[in-house]
Structure 1
Amino acid sequence: GGGGRRGPNTKGLLIGAVAVVAAVVIGIAVAMTSSGADDDKSGDEAGGNTAPTQSESTDPTPSASNSADDEVKLPSAQSGQLQLSPGVATASDVEGAESDGGAYVTGLNQPGASVTWTVDGIPEDGAYTLFARYSAAGEDQSMTLTVNGKPFGSKMNLSNFAHAADGDFAKGWTKTFAWPTLNKGTNTISLSCADGDKCNVLLDQFSLKKGNVKD
């Protein structure tokens, strides 16, 4: 024939198309492989085999109730549990005492009169607060406090904080405190009417708290 034009190169086009398809398949395979690796890595981070963070703990946390249960209850003494010197006695005709039967100590308003409390079960050496519940009426009072045979640094303040009228002891019940240092185990606490003291009070109870507190 004559010099006609050459037809399209179909063989070359076919080879190019196959190459493109192969490239796409390889790309998809690579992407799927990478995604699988990322999924496996993410599963390790969220799993239960990781170490505790700062906000987590492998130790149990003690509850507040446990610490309260461990607190040592300190002893107290009602009027009938105190050792009384001669001439000092208990009575119950004035209302307002909180000891059993409404009893309180009377007869302290005389030189040498005393009450003594032998305290057992002090858990450790240290500072404590001694509370005394008493009644004063009219003039303020103060008596000598002795701890383990040694006079306390100052008189025990037994003022008429209730502002009861002179002689009206039923309305004079109140509380005072001192800050003695006690020893572990057994201690002896005495309240006495020494020279120069004012001792016209009715004594109801003694109690203790650890540390230097006011109520």
Structure 2
Amino acid sequence: MTSGNNGASTPEDDDPFGYLYADGQANGAQPPSGGYGYPNSVNRVRSVGQRQYGQPAQPQQTAAYGQIPQQQGAHGQPSAHYAAPETFPGGPPTAPQQPRYSGGGGGRRGPNTKGLLIGAIAVVAAVVIGIGVAMLGGDSSDDKAGGDASTTPSTSQSSEPSQSASASAASTDLPKTDAKDLQLGGGATKASDVEGAKADGGVYVTGFNNVGASITWTVDIQKAGSYRLYVQYSIPAVDANATLTVNGKPNQQPLGMKNFIKSSDTDLAKNWQSTWAPVKLTKGSNTLTLSCGQGNQCNALVDQLWLQ
């Protein structure tokens, strides 16, 4: 391929590199100076910012090859041939600015930072409470392990007396008598042949199984009220009973002297046991009488009486 003149040329037929060939140079091709290498070639190149919006295009002098084009303005100063499109009439509209969220009722809501903060505070508080409870529990365990005396009384250290303690105190404070101090009648007598009697000297009342036999105890009471009359007795493994009279008035129910120990041995020495009946006493002297009346089963030995 060679460069040459094929007749009337058009911009499309211009060879931009014609000045490099001998025949191109013979036809007047020159190095480019803003257009193609041939004279009168069409210049299609336009520098940036050469054309202004809304004004006809103005030709601009092209710098010679190898020279730096003249700057339109000093560094940092606006160019006289260029302005932003939005500054000209009919230019593109300015895009609306999106409003920033200010925390009001309208617009897009931001993240709920307040809820997150409250949740974090709740978690921290729960951890602190748990640590405090653990420390208190550890201190209590250490105190117990160390054997320190507790200031709070336990169940066994209750300040209120138990029933057994009350009963013991009442039985100690209230009167008690042995067979030798009782008044006997109707054929009842005193003896000490049968072992196991708790009365002083092993003395007990016998002959009580006869109708009309009686045992009387006169006792002084400091405070009127309801009491229990206890009777220590022995039976030949067969239930017995007697009539109880308080200050001349018989009780509606007889005093039961049953075989509570479920003994099958008729030996009286092995069958000593106790029973009780409710009585109402007045302040001062009171008379308590056990008697064997009609219909009573009185085959029993009696050695002690006391009040609770």
The Cα shift of 1:153 comes to 1.8
Q: Tell me how far apart the structure 1 counterparts of residues 239 and 306 of structure 2 sit (CA, whole Å).
A: 22
Runs of 4 or more above 2 Å deviation? 162-167
Deviations, residues 71-97 of structure 1 (Å, cap 9, x unaligned):
781111100010000421111110000
Could you tell me which amino acid in structure 2 is paired with residue 198 of structure 1?
Q
The answer on 1:85 being equivalent to 2:176 is: no
Report the TM-score, using the length of structure 2 for normalisation.
0.44
Deviations, residues 142-194 of structure 1 (Å, cap 9, x unaligned):
11000000001200010011233353111110000011110001100000000
Check whether the contact 1:141–1:158 (CA below 8 A) recurs between aligned residues. yes
Instruction: Identify which of 208, 227, 235 aligns with 1:108.
Output: 208
The residue aligned with 1:195 is: 294
Of structures 1 and 2, the one scoring higher in RCO (CA 8 A, sep 6+) is 1
Deviates more, 1:160-169 or 1:193-202: 160-169
The answer on 1:73 being equivalent to 2:182 is: no
Unaligned runs of 5+ in 1: 1-62, 210-215
Mapping for residues 1-215 of structure 1, pairs under 5 Å = 73-120=173-220, 122-165=221-264, 167-209=266-308
Check whether the contact 1:91–1:104 (CA below 8 A) recurs between aligned residues. yes
The residue aligned with 2:145 is: none
The residue aligned with 2:68 is: none
Check whether the contact 1:106–1:202 (CA below 8 A) recurs between aligned residues. yes
The residue aligned with 2:136 is: none
Q: Secondary structure at the match of 1:179?
A: strand
Report the TM-score, using the length of structure 1 for normalisation.
0.62
Q: Tell me how far apart the structure 2 counterparts of residues 179 and 203 of structure 1 sit (CA, whole Å).
A: 18
Could you tell me which amino acid in structure 2 is paired with residue 137 of structure 1?
P
Larger CA Rg, structure 1 vs 2: 2
Q: Tell me how far apart the structure 2 counterparts of residues 106 and 130 of structure 1 sit (CA, whole Å).
A: 20
Check whether the contact 1:134–1:204 (CA below 8 A) recurs between aligned residues. yes
Check whether the contact 2:240–2:257 (CA below 8 A) recurs between aligned residues. yes
Check whether the contact 2:211–2:292 (CA below 8 A) recurs between aligned residues. yes
Could you tell me which amino acid in structure 1 is paired with residue 228 of structure 2?
T
Could you tell me which amino acid in structure 1 is paired with residue 202 of structure 2?
G
Could you tell me which amino acid in structure 2 is paired with residue 204 of structure 1?
D
* Number of equivalences: 143
Q: Tell me how far apart the structure 2 counterparts of residues 166 and 108 of structure 1 sit (CA, whole Å).
A: 20
Q: Secondary structure at the match of 2:180?
A: helix
